[in-house]
Amino acid sequence: DIQMTQSPSTLSASVGDRVTITCRASQSISSWLAWYQQKPGKAPKLLIYKASSLESGVPSRFSGSGSGTEFTLTISSLQPDDFATYYCQQYHSFSGTFGQGTKVEIK
Amino acid sequence: QVTLKESGPALVKPTQTLTLTCTFSGFSLSTSGMRVSWIRQPPGKALEWLARIDWDDDKFYRTSLKTRLTISKDTSKNQVVLTMTNVDPVDTATYYCAREAVAGRIFDYWGQGTLVTVSS
């Protein structure tokens, strides 16, 4: 199975900060990577697919980049609604493994 | 508007069989290209894909759980059912059903999830 490792596991930030989350794959996954946002008690929400394509309706402050084994999710200016846990997911292999998550909390 | 909702028991005893139902609307599983998956999330842990059923009744399972899982669909009722045999406390998790996006093996619509606790 392809392993997905996110860093950091927790991130403290303030409203207006630029935030970057990293996701590393144990082998090349080309650009087959998605990012999700999950709030407590809620289902995950798709933000980005194919590493950098923004899902319809997702604010443009979210962006994704990377290919191969290293990927980043960037929030250009953190908003109160963005405090949540973020997961990456590879879909190069059928198992579609998720990362362990990065919790973005209020500083 | 696409919606999905999971239902099933909140508490199951070890060794029993767990049956979960996903009832959805806003799309049809008889439409070419449509797929529905089950995904679970143990408390405080990462998401884990379990199984998928396609519009043409193709079925796919997580390798490590393949012998314990069965997925099926009732197109007339817009439902997908997942059964898991011989449950164990490690199967305690929130179980989600989700629609797979046309763009690939990613999930664009999710149910709210249902917490299943395995305990005697």
Please say if the pLDDT value at position A18 is more than 90: yes
- Subunit contact B46:A87, Cβ cutoff 8 A: yes
Residues B105 and B33: their CA atoms lie apart, in Å, by 12
Average pLDDT, stretch A75-85? Answer: 96
Give CA–CA dist B14/B92, Å, rounded: 10
Do A46 and B101 meet the contact criterion of CB atoms below 8 Å apart? yes
Helix (H, G, I), strand (E, B) or coil at A82: helix
Amino acid at B108: D
A66: left (phi over 0), alpha (psi -120 to 50) or beta: left
**Distinct helix (H) and strand (E) counts, chain A:** 0, 10
pLDDT band at A95 (very low <50, low <70, confident <90, very high): confident
Please answer whether residues A72 and A20 qualify as being in contact, where contact means their C-beta atoms are separated by less than 8 angstroms: yes
Residues B103, A53: C-beta atoms closer than 8 Å: yes
Contact B105 A91 (CB under 8 A): yes
Residue A107 pLDDT level (bands cut at 50, 70, 90):
confident
pLDDT per residue over B10-53, tens digit each? 999 999 999 999 999 999 999 999 999 999 999 988 899 999 99
Residues 6+ apart with CB under 8 A from B71: B38, B51, B52, B53, B59, B61, B80, B81, B82
Instruction: Find the angle CA(A13)-CA(A19)-CA(A21) to the nearest 5 degrees.
Output: 115
A94 touches B: beta carbon within 8 Å: yes
Cβ contacts of A99 on chain B, cutoff 8 Å: 46
Q: Is the pLDDT of residue B58 over 80?
A: yes
Mean pLDDT of chain A: 95
Q: Which two tokens stand for residue B120?
A: 């005697």
What's the whole-number mean pLDDT along residues B72-97? 97
- Within 10 Å of residue A80's Cβ, how many Cβ atoms? 7
Higher pLDDT, A94 or B74: B74
Q: Which member of A49, A89, A96 has the closest CB to residue B103?
A: A49
> Is the separation of the CB atoms in A48 and A37 below 8 Å?
no
Q: Count CA atoms closer than 13 A to B26's CA, side-chain side.
A: 13
Encoded tokens for A39:
């709030």
Q: What is the pLDDT of residue B32?
A: 92
Q: Does B66 touch chain A (CB under 8 A)?
A: no
Q: What is the pLDDT at residue B105?
A: 86
- pLDDT given for residue B44 in this prediction: 87
Confidence check: pLDDT of B103 > 80 = no
Q: How many residues does chain A have?
A: 107
The mean per-residue pLDDT over the stretch A79-92 comes to 96
Q: Do B106 and A44 make contact, defined as CB atoms within 8 angstroms? A: no
**Is residue A85 very low, low, confident or very high in pLDDT (cuts 50, 70, 90)?**
very high
A 1-30 residues with CB below 8 A of B? none
